[in-house]
Chains A and B, each alone.
Chain A
Amino acid sequence: EAGVAQSPRYKIIEKRQSVAFWCNPISGHATLYWYQQILGQGPKLLIQFQNNGVVDDSQLPKDRFSAERLKGVDSTLKIQPAKLEDSAVYLCASSLVKGGRGYATYEQYFGPGTRLTVT
């Protein structure tokens, strides 16, 4: 089974420029997440999709960040314009619920991430 794919793996841009990241989740996984991981910290959820609908984007800086998941499969995350504090690893993850009523579980599978450096 292929894992979560992300591209590019590395990106260096200057502040005020724009950048886009792409994610292809595991086939059949309905839920897709974008996380921001700053060096030395745990992943911070930016946005969560269920199929092609947004479930939670409460921590997404909407003045500069945007994300979409067309057709409920691939997703893109965009930053425009970038700031120095956006330097981080951007992780995409997908999950599939297992089990039934009362004992549903799920595992999040992470992609390799995109390391963004803003100079």
Chain B
Amino acid sequence: QQPVQSPQAVILREGEDAVINCSSSKALYSVHWYRQKHGEAPVFLMILLKGGEQKGHEKISASFNEKKQQSSLYLTASQLSYSGTYFCGTETQGGSEKLVFGKGTKLTVNP
């Protein structure tokens, strides 16, 4: 079952904050976040494990609400380099190493 991401697209000015959500109808073991720039391969950002803590990567952090089967990606004080499409990948079976990706959220950061 493909996770649902929202919003589909967001436009920011440099320095503004954004939140990208990922929700699943199935119980999740882990949530992985990736960023893909146009014409490039997806790049791993972070993984949120069931029972784990909120993760952070510079000014990008994420949380995982196990009860709601949701994860949120927080981008604070956005930079031009944050532009791209963000995908969440969800794993429902621990140890499967199998991800189902959402349709993505396109983030545009303008000067």
Contact = CB atoms under 8 A, between A and B. Distances in A.
B97 A97 contact: yes
Contacts of A106: 47, 97
Interface in A62-119: 91, 95, 97, 103-113
A56 B98 contact: yes
Contacts of B103: 40-42
A24 interface: no
A48 B99 CA distance: 10
Interface string B50-87: 00000000000000000000000000000000000001
Interface of B: 2, 30, 32, 40-44, 47, 49, 87, 89, 95-104
A42 B87 contact: yes
Contacts of A109: 44
Most buried by A among B30, B98, B102: B98
A112 B103 CA distance: 19
A107 B41 contact: no
B101 A44 contact: yes
A48 B41 contact: no
Given A108-B44, A112-B40, A113-B41, A45 B99 contact: yes
7 contacts: A31-B97, A42-B89, A42-B102, A43-B87, A45-B98, A55-B96, A110-B42
- Give the 6 A-B residue pairs with the shortest CB-CB distance, closest first: A42-B101, A110-B41, A107-B44, A42-B87, A110-B42, A43-B101
B97 A95 contact: yes
Contacts of A110: 41-43
